[in-house]
């Protein structure tokens, strides 16, 4: 009976590292790669200056459309 091969160790950077208690994960700006600290910047993934530079001051608006539906019986 052959011995099973050992599991290969994961590549560095692919496994989530343990965060100390109470510490938020580090989020970097998608454009300039600076660390983000403001709540809205962390949600957007871009700092205030980078959002302005690319015209992303507000969330994109979702278009409104009507959906054709069959009438419910008895109504």
Q: Which domain holds residue 29?
A: 25-58
Domain count, the chain: 1
Q: How far is the C-alpha of 48 from the C-alpha of 38, rounded, in Å?
A: 9
Tens of pLDDT, residue by residue over 13-68, are: 666 666 566 777 888 999 999 999 988 888 888 988 998 898 887 766 677 888 88
Higher pLDDT, 74 or 9: 74
Residue 44: what pLDDT? 85
Residue 1: what pLDDT? 58
Establish if 34 belongs to a structural domain. Answer: yes
Higher pLDDT, 55 or 2: 55
Establish if 32 belongs to a structural domain. Answer: yes
Residue 64: what pLDDT? 80
């Amino acid at each position: 009976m052959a011995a099973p091969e050992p599991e290969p160790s994961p590549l560095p950077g692919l496994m989530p590292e343990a965060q100390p208690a109470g510490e938020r994960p580090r989020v970097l700006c998608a454009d300039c790669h600076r660390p983000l600290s403001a709540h809205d910047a962390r949600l957007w993934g871009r700092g205030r200056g980078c959002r302005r530079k690319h015209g992303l001051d507000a969330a994109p608006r979702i278009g409104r459309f009507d959906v054709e539906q069959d009438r419910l019986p008895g109504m």
